[in-house]
Copies of this chain bind each other. A is one copy, B any other.
């Protein structure tokens, strides 16, 4: 309990009057080491509570057995679930995971991606911040041959592997569902314009409308500003009502926005779903807690994490040389907020 210094291979070697390399090999059961020598070394290692120094290992092997993950926000259920998926498979494969937040800031994203690069991660999994337009900080990884996998939010101008869900299809499904429920005046609360998901979901929204012969109305495409939080939804909804716009259904880019919308609607005594049906995206836990319970598109977050690390490991192990793009589908979970009782 009071050994202030870690035992090293050299310590063991000296005590047993063998060489450092012999210790190294003995500890990994290398066949060229004699049985008694090996045993003696392993015994002493136990006794000294020897633990290999990962730093030294990494330096000599030029591999840290570590993969970096950058997400915008840890405090979103979606992202933390993706991370759980990543960790699961990473640990099984002997990899550690370093998790960083960009806090939705481009500047911070650049800093952490450089830090991870300096820390010599063997690979990187990223969902970019909503501010990010420039991808130079990720291109450095490519130039150094460190594989990257993007999930959910990708850099459009890079040729890399990615795991996304089919935003277009998800949005289309949601809107189609609303139409089939008899809604005609369907508004879409959209996200930050820079994000691909914003655009894809808008497309799905528009196409679903036109597929059912409903003309697109500019006024029903609501911009929620740069945030994806509840307040953004609340404010945008209030603004909409103030402008005298009253749809009979709302498809929101994400659950927090949807909930903000619901709060505002209820505050204005608009009945959900009778007067206005609401559908969100992501199926966060709160979706089952609000009243009425929120219909939402289930993103297979854990699966997205697993798939991301799978693609990454394939690249690290040199199996994939060309980027692979996996697209998973989001399934609609219908709850009370959109199943009309009319």
Contact = CB atoms under 8 A, between A and B. Distances in A.
Interface string A122-155: 0000000000000000011011110000000000
A230 B49 CA distance: 42
Contact of A53 (B4, B118, B142, B289): B118
A314 interface: no
Interface stretch (A76-84, A203-211, A235-243, A274-282): A76-84
A286 interface: yes
Nearest to A96: B115
Interface string A42-68: 000000010111111011000010000
B143 A2 contact: yes
B142 A1 contact: yes
A144 B51 CA distance: 11
A247 to B, nearest CB: 22
Nearest to A58: B55
A54 B1 contact: no
A52 B118 contact: yes
A54 B120 contact: yes
A81 B87 contact: no
A221 interface: no
A111 B92 CA distance: 12
A289 B229 CA distance: 13
Interface string A281-307: 000011001110000000000000000
A3 interface: yes
A1 B114 contact: no
A119 B143 contact: no
B118 A51 contact: yes
Contacts of A77: 75
A52 to B, nearest CB: 6
A6 interface: yes
A289 to B, nearest CB: 5
A259 interface: yes
A195 interface: no
Contacts of A97: 100
A179 interface: no
5 contacts: A2-B143, A55-B59, A74-B80, A87-B101, A97-B100
Given A55-B59, A285-B286, 8 more contacts: A1-B143, A3-B144, A56-B59, A91-B111, A96-B98, A98-B99, A286-B286, A290-B290
